[in-house]
Amino acid sequence: MSDDDLLFTPATTAASLIRRGKLSPVDYVETVLGAIAREQPRLNAFVEVMAEAARADAKAAEKAVRAGGKLGPLHGVPVNIKDLLDVRDVPTRKGSAIFTDAPPAPADDVLVARLREAGAIIIGKSTTPEFGNKGLTDSPPHGITRNPWNLSRTSGGSSGGAAAAVAAGLGPLGLGTDGAGSVRGPAACCGVVGLKPTLGTVPYETATDTYANNTFAGPLTRTVTDAAVMHAVLTGGASKDVWSLKGEDRRQLSPQLVGSDLSAVRIGYIPRCHNPRVAADVTANTAASLEAWAAMGAEVEEVQDEIDWIEYEGRVLYQAGFAVGFAQFLPRWQNQMDPVTLAFMERGDGFSLHDFRKAQFARTRLFHAIQALFARYDFLITPTTTRTALPVEFDAANDEVDVDGVKYGITRQGWTAYQYPFNLTGHPALSLPSGFGTDGLPTAVQIVGKWGAETDVLRLGALLEQARPWAQHRPPAG
């Protein structure tokens, strides 16, 4: 196998080769590190490359293979970690000048620890905008992370470094976080798979308010199977996340999805959420995905219900959280913070307690509306974004999104309107490639499932992946 082919080999395949002694973890990690060295100057996907630690872990992984003991499902496989989550002995800089000189983290985040227990090798920390604040990945201390399909376009945000790295073959797995679409948006921009799980399935111990949490951690991968395996590694209760302590087994597959005959499956297609427009190429590729499922027997119906997608109320919750959570940094750091962070904080400061409580009540109403849809449908399908990746210089606080030559509001209204509602309701949502746009960049479709039905969502995604293969496509090399 050539180095280029190895770099685009699925994680599950690589792990199988390692277990059988046909691939050396040492050679694998060295190949990935070499690719990172070549691509980092043009993509800027990493805040820190943990080369020496990764090499040491690869040697230990190779020794474990030779010893013949039990190996985890990701044994010897490199993974990048978004720089909002702790990796022991490495600073967590959060995309902010405030934490440029942060001390090394004393311990792994629980999810990083689970990846290590599964045998994965942490290859580095991937980029994020400041505090994961927006749908593009750039920050004052770390600069712009670019899309491997087109360097003038964004990799999405806020897990843009993780998605760009996976798309470019810089390790097959990335661990991202998703507070308003921050796994699914980058997946859509970079042509990879991104899963936002059900609230509580994967613990998120760094949430500032665990009871009102709307932020999730999930995999970014090139195949649905890799996402499923990584998700299984991450699931399970953790003491600091109250939502994760239910103790339910959420991995049971619904019987009607066991085979490839979807005659018992009902799909509700939502062409618009809060967005007034969607690009023609995105619409066409979404329709092709729906047709693929319909060809397997699924009943596909356009959802006609009038739903309040609470864009304004969602913004109240999001921006008020920034205003309160980061006010402590303003006296010393204001001049070194991202202007988008400051704009969100200023807007958040303008909301009243009544605005905030009304927004919380609206979140419940939205949950009820989605639950009502799931009384009729097994899945909800939308595009993931209204158009392909935005230009890297786009101002997420002020610029309007251009969809087929017409401007239609800021990102939450004009680009990512399909994503943030499901952070608020907690339902699982998977983004996977649906094709290419007329500009040559990836488009994506989103599958939303019933509460706790990640396995069903992944299965429906895998059937689309089989019908409309994607992983063979590679972005242009530098």
Decide the pairing of beta strands 379-383 and 266-269: parallel
The residue type found at 365 is R
The answer to whether residues 296 and 438 touch, using CB atoms and an 8 Å cutoff, is no
Number of C-beta neighbours around residue 301 at 10 A: 12
Q: Are 61 and 121 contacting, i.e. CB atoms less than 8 angstroms apart?
A: yes
Instruction: Please tell me the distance from the alpha carbon of residue 316 to that of residue 310, in angstroms, as a whole number.
Output: 10
| Closest residue by Cα to residue 217 from 250, 272, 167, 174 | 174
How far apart, in Å, are the Cα atoms of 142 and each of 93, 153, 162, 391, 476?
10, 17, 14, 18, 24
Q: Select which of 182, 244, 289, 434 is catalytic.
A: 182
Tell me how far apart the alpha carbons of residues 177 and 32 are, in angstroms, rounded to a whole number.
23
Eight-state DSSP code of residue 247 = -
Known active-site residue 182: yes
Sign of CA dihedral 122, 126, 131, 136: negative
Query: CB within 8 A of 30, min separation 6: which ones?
Result: 55, 58
- Which of 82, 125, 196, 450 is catalytic? The answer is 82
Query: DSSP secondary structure string, 18-70?
Result: HHTTSS-HHHHHHHHHHHHHHHHHHH--EEEE-HHHHHHHHHHHHHHHHHT--
Q: Is the peptide bond before 182 cis (omega within 30 degrees of 0)?
A: no
Is the distance from CB of 162 to CB of 82 less than 8 angstroms? Answer: yes
* Residue 93 to residue 90: CA distance in whole angstroms: 9
Residue 158 among the catalytic residues = yes
Amino acid (1-letter code) at residue 25: P
Contact in structure between 434 and 267 (CB atoms under 8 Å)? no
| Paired strand residues for 195 | 430
Q: Verify cis geometry, omega within 30 degrees of 0, for the bond prior to 352.
A: no
CA neighbor of 338 nearest in space, from 183, 132, 151, 196: 132
Would you call 457 helix, strand, or coil by DSSP?
Answer: helix
Enter the tokens of residue 181.
């679409």
What is the Cα–Cα distance from 144 to 395, expressed in whole angstroms?
A: 13
The active-site residue out of 24, 96, 155, 158 is 158
Q: Is 82 a catalytic residue?
A: yes
In order of 12, 14, 172, 345, 379, the CA distances from 8 in angstroms are 12, 10, 7, 40, 30
Q: Which residues pair with 144 in a beta bridge?
A: 138
Catalytic residues: 82, 158, 182
